[in-house]
Structure 1
């Protein structure tokens, strides 16, 4: 499953839980979601901006997005924590990507992503950002 599909499934589940009042969003959830949404928006820009960047910069931004999710996760419990943990797992393939050419020696199992993989992961971050912004106002 690609990153975007995994994030879409998480977002749909979160929206359903909120809509069905299974997940009662707290003020603390809203605050953390708002901060995380802002952080994600700041690291992954518009598609035309991201696609113009060098691979190393695109990967750096994706790793920063994953770090923003992990930091948000450290500040919550309950359903938002479960959602953010699953989101971090969905984004985790970026940890196995490399943008630098492999010289002699081990690359620790990393591989260069395709342009489509970059685009998919960036769109997943945008979708996650949108969902967190929605949670912040729920």
Structure 2
């Protein structure tokens, strides 16, 4: 399953749990989710912006996304933590990517991703941004 699909499944589960009133964000988690959305939007922008960047910058932005998610995960527990953990797991392949050639030396198991893989990961981050924003909207409407 690709990153986009994994994030879509996470988003669908979150929406269902909120609709079923299984997951109710408290004020702290709502604020953290909104902060995470803003930070993710700062890192991964619109497709035309990201695709115009050199691959090394695109990878840098995707790695920063992982850092944003990890920091947010460290600041919460319960369902929001589980959701963020799933998102980190979905984007885990980014950890094995490199943007520089190996020059014949060892690469510690890293690989050069294709342009399509960059796009897939960036699309997954945008879907994650939307899902987190929707979670907070769904919750604030109650």
TM-score range, shorter chain: over 0.9
1:92-112 Cα distance to aligned partner (Å, 9 max, x none): 110001110111221011101
* 2:26 match: 26
Give aligned pairs, total: 138
Q: Distance in 2 between matches of 1:43 and 1:108?
A: 26
User: Is 1:116 aligned to residue 116 of structure 2?
Assistant: yes
User: Is 1:83 aligned to residue 86 of structure 2?
Assistant: no
Structure 1 residues without counterparts, runs of 5 or longer: none
Q: Distance in 1 between matches of 2:30 and 2:107?
A: 40
* 1:56 match: 56
Q: Distance in 1 between matches of 2:65 and 2:129?
A: 10
Q: Distance in 2 between matches of 1:76 and 1:28?
A: 9
Q: Once superposed, what is the RMSD of the aligned Cα atoms?
A: 0.8
Q: Distance in 1 between matches of 2:16 and 2:106?
A: 44
Quote how far apart the aligned CAs of 1:136 are. Answer: 2.6
Q: Distance in 2 between matches of 1:134 and 1:74?
A: 21
1:37-87 Cα distance to aligned partner (Å, 9 max, x none): 000000001000100111000000001011101100000000000000111
Structure 2 residues without counterparts, runs of 5 or longer: none
- The 5 A counterparts of 1:118-133 are 118-133=118-133
